[in-house]
Amino acid sequence: MTGTRLLRGFAALLIFGTLSTHLPAQDILSDDLLVRDSLRPFDRLLQKQLRVWFDSMDAALTEDGTQSPEWWRTSERLNPLTVHGGTLLDYARDHAGSPEALACLAYIVDWGEGRPRELFRSACDELLASYADDPAMSWLCSRFTNAICFDEMESFLTRLRETSSSPAVQAAADFHLAELIDQALQMQKRLPVMRERFESTGALQGLPTLGHRLDRVAALDSRDLTDRRDRLLKQVCESATARPWSAKRMQGRLDYEFFEDPDAESFQQRAAGLLYETAHLRVGSIAPAFEGTLSDGRPFRLGDRRGQPTLLMFSFKGCVACEAMYPALRAVQKRYADAGFSVVGIMADENVGTVSTAIETGAITWPCVWDGPSGPIARAFRVRGHPVVLLLDGEGRIVAKALREERHLDAAISELVGGE
């Protein structure tokens, strides 16, 4: 189980399963939030149900602490949105156009993005009817990029684009529709691994519609999706200078506060970034060349590793998910060293001393380039969270991504070095 959201597109479905034991309950159940007075009674209902949900989810774990079909069914049945979502929707309808109603609708689409049932669709209808031109919609559009629910997400963004007269909201709808399509394309490539994971956690048995949704994504025309994505991104690049609004909120609570963020990238910039990513950072692309300095002071150039398979690991000491991968990386580093394979770390630590210490203690057994927080190499690879893993062949071409478990790492590396 992981408390970090996985790549959007299928993470939303898993967030309900991982939340109970991995989000700090003392924070999510704290009353010290900017919840509007008129919404506090509803927020307290959600708090109470969150406690029931947390306890029930923990009790539904198997004896060895893993998930099961019943665990997923419990998650669905006792989820705060399942229990109180209808009350929030009724309030939003009775107070249509108000900030309080917007907060209720935001909760439904934000907390329920991976569960598009009638409640979710009704909330979308209310948003279109009362808030199509509200600048907060430029943030809410970002909640509609869950490709595992492709049809519902696509429908809302398309309808919003047709309904809104706000250039900023139209730009948001176009950009996030392109992002949704891109997530679907990436998901198509990972479906076998996803099915295996969902099967192992009991999700396929516990969530009856999940298998059908995976089949639906698999059936989408990838060529048509690619053309639509690129066309939308180029359209946004040409004219969408508006910046998205942001939101302060704690997921699971009614403390939504929307605001204009002067530091946010414009949709034009974001579209250009995604176009760059699709051209240079996807499987089959040549990875961006870079130079840096190793933790021991020696220079490093990625181009010097031509002819040798390389795994790039973007991480930092203190990243729990990153360090959980270190044993597997030590194993494959040793196992395939004779084939010229090597792991190369790109470290985001505050200072290089932390990296040097990790190498000295043996926690890290591969060379590491110190990039610093939000360093130039991470920016070139558009790293937004850690860990990020890229497997490159001898020509520097990306052959695999999102490898987390040792058996997947081993299989991908074995296939790579065995073919050379």
CA 321 – CA 286 distance, rounded (Å): 26
What's CA 340's distance to the chain center, in Å? 33
CA distance 375 to 382: 10
H runs (alpha helix) in 62-166: 69-78, 80-94, 99-111, 118-130, 137-140, 150-163
CA dist., res. 53 & res. 331, Å (int) = 39
Tell whether the model's pLDDT for residue 3 goes beyond 70. no
Q: Which residue did the predictor score with more confidence, 229 or 64?
A: 229
HSE at residue 98, side-chain half, CA atoms within 13 A, is 12
pLDDT at 294 over 90: yes
Lowest mean pLDDT among 190-204, 247-261, 317-331, 399-413: 399-413
Strand pairing class (368-370; 342-347): parallel
* For the chain, percent of residues with pLDDT exceeding 90: 70
Instruction: Give the Cα separation of 1 and 19 in Å (integer).
Output: 10
pLDDT band at 10 (very low <50, low <70, confident <90, very high): very low
Class of domain 284-418 as given by CATH: alpha beta
Cα–Cα nearest to 104, from 51, 40, 48? 40
Q: What is the mean pLDDT of residues 60-84?
A: 90
* End-to-end Cα distance, the chain: 35
Residue 223 makes CB contacts below 8 A (sequence gap 6+) with none
| pTM of full prediction above 0.85 | no
pLDDT band with cut points at 50, 70 and 90 for residue 318: confident
Q: Is the pLDDT of residue 134 over 60?
A: yes
Average of per-residue pLDDT across 316-322: 90
pLDDT band at 275 (very low <50, low <70, confident <90, very high): very high
**For 346-403, how does the pLDDT look when each residue is reduced to its tens digit (9 = 90+)?**
999 999 999 999 999 999 999 999 999 989 999 999 998 899 999 999 999 999 987 7
Q: How confident is the model at residue 156 (pLDDT cuts 50, 70, 90)?
A: very high
- Does residue 402 or residue 260 have the better pLDDT? 260
Convert the pLDDT of each residue in 11-61 to its tens digit: 334 433 333 334 445 556 666 667 888 999 999 999 999 999 989 989 999
Asked whether the predicted pLDDT for residue 247 surpasses 90, the reply is yes
Query: Cα(75)–Cα(13) distance, rounded to whole angstroms?
Result: 11
- Pull the structure tokens for residue 26: 């003392």
Ordered by start, the domain boundaries in the chain are 11-275, 284-418
